[in-house]
Amino acid sequence: MTGTLTSDTETRTVRAGRPGPGPVRCAVGDLLLADLPVSVVFFHEHPLDPDALAAGLARALDLLPEFAGRLRTDDDGGLRIDTDDSGVPFTVADAPYTLTEALDRMVLPNSGLVDHVRAAEARREPLPLLTVRLNRLADGTCALGVSWHHAVGDMQTFALLVRTWSACTEGTDLPEPVRAPDRDAQLDAHLPAEDCGTPALRLPDPAESAELRRAVATAALANRTVQVWFSPAETERLRAAHSAAAGRRLSTNDALCAHLLHVLREVDGAGDEEQTLTVPVNLRRVLGLPDTTLGNLLGEIRLPYRPGTTPARYAAELRTAVEEFTEKHLSVRSNLRFLEQVGRDRVTECVPVGFDPARRTLTVSSWCRLGLQDLPLAGRRPVAFSPAATLQLPWTSWLVEGPRGEGHLYTLVLPARTAARLRTAAALLHPHRRPGDPGPAVAPRKLL
């Protein structure tokens, strides 16, 4: 590890000390996400030892060298990850916030708690694919901000990094990553011969492409981030009520997704307009791949919410879609056929069908049940975990467990006017909250 030191900030480069097994050819799913960073923050009530963190990270990078590598562009427009151990910038800095104030900053586009990976530039320049920032807060607590390049992998891949990092600082059993030098070939070996027949990506016309570029360029000014917390008892009441009304058992995710889209439709005055929910699906479970398989192994369910549909009925429709995913929603082979038609070199011009802010298509990504708040780093478990705003794209949202793993924290990015309306809709958001329900262990002051 090498580093430079100032009065209150230290930056070092963490390396495994040896290169990985060789380059990794990115799959189509990785290419579609190759301009996106993903950033999160772990909040701790006690200080973390930066040297122990860095030493553990170095050992973790030896097992997961993709995170310490760099992207390279192939002659055919494809990408590969060169596992050359270029390293990860690790910054330790003093931040003038208390734990509560740091939590408040999660709704800001530039919280200052994360060094966001420069994803788009990393396709052209040898830039880091992972950054770590340990913020020493004013009240003796700390916030650990981590950002990674989406081409390396999805949230399941990041969770594997954190589990490995934790095992390296705590001396516990290490998980066994499953990697392949060619991710498309690896996936092809596990896919059924046929899928739903409808691609999950599209090629926008020039006018829509221009509008999408404008939406990205103005995202920070046009949109706002809102966070909502549902207590364990409140969530169970919601799930039980929807299950009873639907006449079948529903999952918590079914109930919350249906409830949230219903509330947004009410707040936004959707009326007789149809609106679509997009739910990413972890393909590892669908295809029988180990949870430790690296990459962006994601499919998606796109389910229209039609006027007159009750939230309970919609939750039941979502449950059916999950059960019928392989037959009616799996689209990996259809995506490949689509790219063969338009030309694989145009993959960077394509967008997921489920990303359609002009039609207010809501994406809800569930990061629950990954166990991230149960993983100690340098002897300390986090008290809270949150997504950190990056591009502020409208109608994107995330569900994670709440502080201390209790309840659910919902983070969503909305057009400014819709966000303002949602902030005054407590009765709509929380019909199953009771006066005696305990609050979250720690929380930002503007939590709904």
Tell me, what's the pLDDT at 274?
A: 93
Q: Residue 6 pLDDT more than 50?
A: no
Q: How far is CA 168 from the centre of its chain?
A: 24
| Cβ proximity of 250 and 315 under 8 Å | yes
Please indicate, yes or no, whether residues 146 and 197 belong to a single structural domain of this protein: no
Burial 262-289 (b: 16+ CB within 10 A, else e): bbbbebbebeeeebbbbbbbbbbebbeb
Please indicate, yes or no, whether residues 137 and 209 belong to a single structural domain of this protein: no
On whether residue 378 sits in a domain, the answer given is: no
pLDDT tens, residue by residue, 319-369: 999 999 999 999 999 999 998 898 888 888 888 888 888 899 999 999 999
Q: Residue 271 pLDDT more than 80?
A: no
Distance from C-alpha of 131 to C-alpha of 109, rounded to nearest angstrom: 17
Distance from C-alpha of 157 to C-alpha of 65, rounded to nearest angstrom: 12
Please indicate, yes or no, whether residues 123 and 10 belong to a single structural domain of this protein: yes
Q: Residue 1 pLDDT more than 60?
A: no
Please indicate, yes or no, whether residues 183 and 296 belong to a single structural domain of this protein: no
Tell me, what's the pLDDT at 62?
A: 98
| Cβ proximity of 212 and 356 under 8 Å | no
Question: Tell me, what DSSP letter sits at residue 351?
Answer: E
Tell me, what's the pLDDT at 200?
A: 92
| pLDDT averaged over every residue in the chain | 93
Distance from C-alpha of 340 to C-alpha of 343, rounded to nearest angstrom: 5
On whether residue 372 sits in a domain, the answer given is: no
Domain endpoint, select from 163, 187, 211: 187
Q: Residue 3 pLDDT more than 50?
A: no
Distance from C-alpha of 22 to C-alpha of 234, rounded to nearest angstrom: 49
Query: How confident is the model over 388-394, as a mean pLDDT?
Result: 85
pLDDT tens, residue by residue, 211-269: 888 888 888 889 999 999 999 999 999 999 999 999 999 999 999 999 999 999 999 98
Please indicate, yes or no, whether residues 61 and 168 belong to a single structural domain of this protein: yes
Query: How confident is the model over 97-116, as a mean pLDDT?
Result: 92
Tell me, what's the pLDDT at 4?
A: 37
Q: At what angle do helices 252-268 and 232-246 cross, to 10 degrees?
A: 90
Lowest-pLDDT choice from 72-76, 133-137, 241-245, 406-410: 72-76
Domain endpoint, select from 187, 207, 224: 187
Please indicate, yes or no, whether residues 271 and 176 belong to a single structural domain of this protein: no
Please indicate, yes or no, whether residues 345 and 361 belong to a single structural domain of this protein: yes
On whether residue 103 sits in a domain, the answer given is: yes
pLDDT tens, residue by residue, 408-426: 999 999 999 999 999 999 9
Distance from C-alpha of 11 to C-alpha of 386, rounded to nearest angstrom: 23
Please indicate, yes or no, whether residues 176 and 198 belong to a single structural domain of this protein: no
pLDDT tens, residue by residue, 272-320: 899 999 999 999 999 999 999 999 999 999 999 999 999 999 999 999 9
On whether residue 62 sits in a domain, the answer given is: yes
Q: What are phi and psi of 130, to 5 degrees?
A: -150, 135
Please indicate, yes or no, whether residues 181 and 215 belong to a single structural domain of this protein: no
| Cβ proximity of 403 and 417 under 8 Å | no
pLDDT tens, residue by residue, 149-205: 999 999 999 999 999 999 999 999 999 999 999 999 999 999 999 999 999 999 999
Q: What CATH number corresponds to the domain at position 413?
A: 3.30.559.10
On whether residue 436 sits in a domain, the answer given is: no
On whether residue 100 sits in a domain, the answer given is: yes
Question: Which domain, by its residues, includes 282?
Answer: 193-366+392-429
For 384, the enclosing helix (H) or strand (E) is: strand 384-387
Tell me, what's the pLDDT at 390?
A: 82
Tell me, what's the pLDDT at 214?
A: 87
Domain count, the chain: 2
Tell me, what's the pLDDT at 133?
A: 98
With cut-offs at 50, 70 and 90, classify the pLDDT of residue 7: very low
Please indicate, yes or no, whether residues 296 and 412 belong to a single structural domain of this protein: yes
Please indicate, yes or no, whether residues 227 and 160 belong to a single structural domain of this protein: no
Tell me, what's the pLDDT at 163?
A: 98
Domain endpoint, select from 172, 187, 202: 187
Please indicate, yes or no, whether residues 230 and 143 belong to a single structural domain of this protein: no
Q: Residue 400 pLDDT more than 60?
A: yes
On whether residue 387 sits in a domain, the answer given is: no
On whether residue 47 sits in a domain, the answer given is: yes
